[in-house]
Amino acid sequence: MTNLGKSGTYRLGDRTVKRLGYGAMQLAGKGVFGPPRDHDAAIAVLREAVESGVDHIDTSDFYGPHVTNRLIREALHPYPDDLVIVTKIGARRGHDGSWLPAFSPAELKSAVEDNLRHLGLDVMEVVNLRIMIDTDRPGGGAHGPAEGSIETPLAVLADLQRQGLVRHIGLSNATPAQVAEGRGIAEIVCVQNHYNLAHRDDDALIDELARDGIAYVPFFPLGGFTPLQSGTLDAVAKRLGFTPMQVALAWLLRRSPNILLIPGTSSVAHLRENIAAAEIELPADAIEELDGIGKAAA
């Protein structure tokens, strides 16, 4: 079995988790909408992840909607004591599968309650506020965040924390300014943004959070690459004998000790490949070549 602990651990709230976790988004149907294509395969992936040592699962009740949380409960409840389940709120799904903002106090409270009910939990360990401002889908157009104040919705989440429904608060799809604003309102234990070899806008933010002991959780490890950048990654991966995804994950693990990974898949075979990335040690020449992908994009 792969040694997930080889890549180290990091603090997430008042818990310590292995740095390679699992993201449940891909367990839902096409477009993260509706049931999975293969229900039994989805259950198998979740069980394999935990059996392999994964102790950090990222989900949301708007995946499906409600699909991934119900699958997690079916597969894993009662949960292992060391399992940390992280969710996000701030969006809802239209009947056509569209992504819509859900930032009103009533919507945010209902979202937390829905996550608790569908997961079978009394309190959420970490809830990320997914920021959707001036956009009709998570990610602000393609994947990037949109600027604007988050004081009102974050205050609602902080109140739910005081009520005991949420232990810790994080931010998702946030700009550095929003992270700074958020940290002035509540203790922020993690930031979940788009970041990878080619998409390096958060370099300074990652280093700032690392200095303060705050986890950074990148999503889309292969998202936003140009054909040239993909070609470079493919060439390095082929030379090393790994998949491009494995190399991209290994680079992220090396990038900063506060980075926690949540690669998602609906395949047990791909899950095993992703988990194996925790054991990859990239040689210096490969690191230099991979670093060049981000520099070329700057």
Which of 10, 63, 195, 216 is an active site residue? 63
CA dist., res. 48 & res. 267, Å (int): 10
Give yes or no: 63 in active site.
Answer: yes
CA angle 60, 161, 129 (to 5 degrees): 40
Closest CA to 219 of 241, 193, 243: 193
Beta strands in the chain (DSSP E): 9-12, 15-18, 22-23, 56-58, 84-89, 91-93, 99-101, 124-130, 166-172, 188-194, 215-219
CA dist., res. 142 & res. 297, Å (int): 16
Q: What is the DSSP letter of 81?
A: T
- List phi, psi (to 5°) of 159: -70, -40
86-to-55, 103, 116 alpha-carbon distances in Å: 11, 19, 11
Residues with active-site annotation: 63
